């Protein structure tokens, strides 16, 4: 059982996917499926770390799956599935709850943000969330994890957990036939592209997010062309023209964000965009941005809506993906049990 290159990543089915999810992560997922073995998950167990309406959650799981396929993930090439159908995730997460240290989780900035002031009322699941994320990745001994910037700290934790497991059980790992004493790889974050952190359209200092109460702050993958154009037109900017070089964005986070989004959607570098639009007013630029955005995203939204009309077909994709995922994760879990001294039959 050697470690070979394998990609794993996931998104939460809470609300509809947005431009940040697409440009920060999914664009790389689609590219990597041409060169790697890829496993892409709808992380429904992560979603329930905060209360979800059951009927809405079911719909959201299918919607995210539909968006994956509509955006270009091919269920024949990649494994597409929802986390709760593969019990290895929850089993390995428990083992990792016993490997990770409280001090490590106390440092997680996303928990602090999500739990807010009333930390005592947050679920234990929300606190242990990064351990489940490490389990997602390591249940497949995945080596590459394409994500947006905001997941960097969680990935560092996954690397620490992999290393501590390897250290804590080194002798047992060797006794189980892994001569170099390494059972889990160190998963590499893949955080690349011009839009690894897409910001809110209303406030360039805040991340574009599903949980922002203002729908004008984000472009959803399900928005139609008119809505996309309206949101871009209303996006916050400043009175100055577009800068002519990259250094000209100081103190102008909204301008920088919109130019970054354009570059990512048009498959250009920021430099090229500034060469074309530098010195112009935002009104003209916003028209061009609305055009590239509707061109690229309108198609995805339309296709996702078409796929949603047949929920049985979506469920079949998830069932097939889960079965394929299980065949990879089960031997890993079996080894983990043997390594940790748990008896199985």
Q: What is the DSSP letter of 184?
A: S
Q: Which of 31, 164, 210, 230 is catalytic?
A: 210
How many CB atoms are located within 10 Å of the residue 76 CB? Answer: 8
Nearer to ligand TYM, 151 or 220 (CB): 151
- Identify which of 136, 164, 139 has the alpha carbon closest to the alpha carbon of residue 151: 136
CB 108 within 8 A of CB 151: no
Smallest gap from Cβ 3 to ligand TYM, in A, equals: 17
Smallest gap from Cβ 170 to ligand TYM, in A, equals: 25
Examine residue 131 and tell whether it contacts ligand TYM (CB under 6 A).
Answer: no
Considering only residues 137, 293, 300, 318, which one is a binding residue for ligand TYM as defined by CB under 6 A?
137
Q: Is 287 a catalytic residue?
A: no
Measured distance CA(217)–CA(210) in Å, rounded: 9
Residue 146, class by beta-carbon neighbours within 10 Å (0-12 exposed, 13-18 middle, 19+ buried)?
A: buried
Burial 172-184 (b: 16+ CB within 10 A, else e): ebeeeebeeeebb
Q: Which of 114, 164, 230, 337 is catalytic?
A: 114
Q: Is 230 a catalytic residue?
A: no
Site for ligand TYM in 171-210 (CB under 6 A): 196-198, 207-208
Examine residue 71 and tell whether it contacts ligand TYM (CB under 6 A).
Answer: no
- Identify which of 298, 304, 260 has the alpha carbon closest to the alpha carbon of residue 73: 304
Q: Is 207 a catalytic residue?
A: yes
Question: Which run of H or E residues covers position 53?
Answer: none
Half-sphere exposure at residue 30, Cβ-oriented, CA atoms within 13 angstroms: 15
Examine residue 236 and tell whether it contacts ligand TYM (CB under 6 A).
Answer: no
- Identify which of 274, 201, 284 has the alpha carbon closest to the alpha carbon of residue 237: 201
Nearer to ligand TYM, 153 or 281 (CB): 153
Examine residue 145 and tell whether it contacts ligand TYM (CB under 6 A).
Answer: yes
How many CB atoms are located within 10 Å of the residue 167 CB? Answer: 11
Examine residue 100 and tell whether it contacts ligand TYM (CB under 6 A).
Answer: no
Residue the block writes with tokens 């039959």 = 345
Smallest gap from Cβ 155 to ligand TYM, in A, equals: 7
Considering only residues 15, 148, 185, 193, which one is a binding residue for ligand TYM as defined by CB under 6 A?
148
Examine residue 25 and tell whether it contacts ligand TYM (CB under 6 A).
Answer: yes
Nearer to ligand TYM, 144 or 286 (CB): 144
Examine residue 64 and tell whether it contacts ligand TYM (CB under 6 A).
Answer: no
Nearer to ligand TYM, 39 or 274 (CB): 39
DSSP-derived secondary structure for 106-130: HT-HHHHHHHTT-GGGS-HHHHHHH
Q: Which residues are catalytic?
A: 114, 207, 210
The residues of the shown chain that bind ligand TYM, judged by CB under 6 A, are 8-12, 20-21, 24-25, 43, 46, 133, 136-137, 145, 147-148, 150-151, 154, 196-198, 207-208
């Amino acid at each position: 059982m050697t470690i070979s290159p394998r990609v794993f990543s996931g998104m939460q089915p809470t609300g509809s996917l947005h431009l940040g999810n697409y440009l920060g992560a999914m664009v790389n997922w689609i590219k990597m499926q041409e060169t790697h073995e890829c496993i892409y998950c709808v992380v429904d167990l992560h979603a329930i770390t905060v209360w979800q309406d059951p009927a809405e959650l079911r719909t959201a799981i299918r919607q995210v799956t539909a968006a994956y396929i509509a955006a270009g993930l091919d269920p024949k090439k990649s494994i597409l599935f929802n986390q709760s159908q593969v019990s290895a995730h929850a089993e390995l997460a428990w083992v990792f709850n016993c490997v990770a240290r409280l001090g490590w989780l106390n440092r997680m900035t996303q928990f602090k943000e999500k739990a807010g002031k009333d930390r005592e009322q947050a679920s234990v699941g929300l606190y242990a969330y990064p351990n489940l994320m490490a389990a997602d990745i390591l249940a497949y001994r995945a080596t590459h994890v394409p994500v947006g910037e905001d997941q960097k700290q969680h990935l560092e934790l996954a690397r620490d957990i992999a290393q501590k497991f390897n250290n804590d059980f080194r002798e047992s790992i060797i006794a189980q036939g892994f001569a170099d004493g390494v059972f889990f790889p160190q998963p590499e974050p893949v955080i690349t592209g011009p839009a690894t952190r897409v910001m809110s359209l209303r406030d360039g200092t805040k991340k574009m997010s599903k949980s922002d109460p203002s729908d004008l702050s984000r472009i959803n993958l399900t928005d139609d062309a008119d809505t996309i154009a309206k949101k871009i037109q209303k996006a916050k900017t400043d009175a100055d023209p577009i800068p002519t070089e990259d250094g000209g964005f100081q103190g102008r986070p909204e301008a920088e964000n919109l130019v970054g989004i354009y570059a990512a959607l048009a498959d250009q570098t920021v430099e090229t965009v500034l060469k074309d639009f530098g010195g112009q007013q935002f009104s003209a630029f916003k028209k061009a941005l609305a055009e590239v955005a509707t061109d690229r995203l309108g198609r995805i939204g339309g296709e996702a809506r078409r796929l949603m009309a047949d929920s049985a077909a979506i469920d079949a994709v998830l069932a097939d993906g889960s079965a394929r995922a299980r065949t990879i994760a089960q031997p890993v879990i079996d080894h983990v049990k043997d390594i940790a001294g748990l008896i199985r039959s």
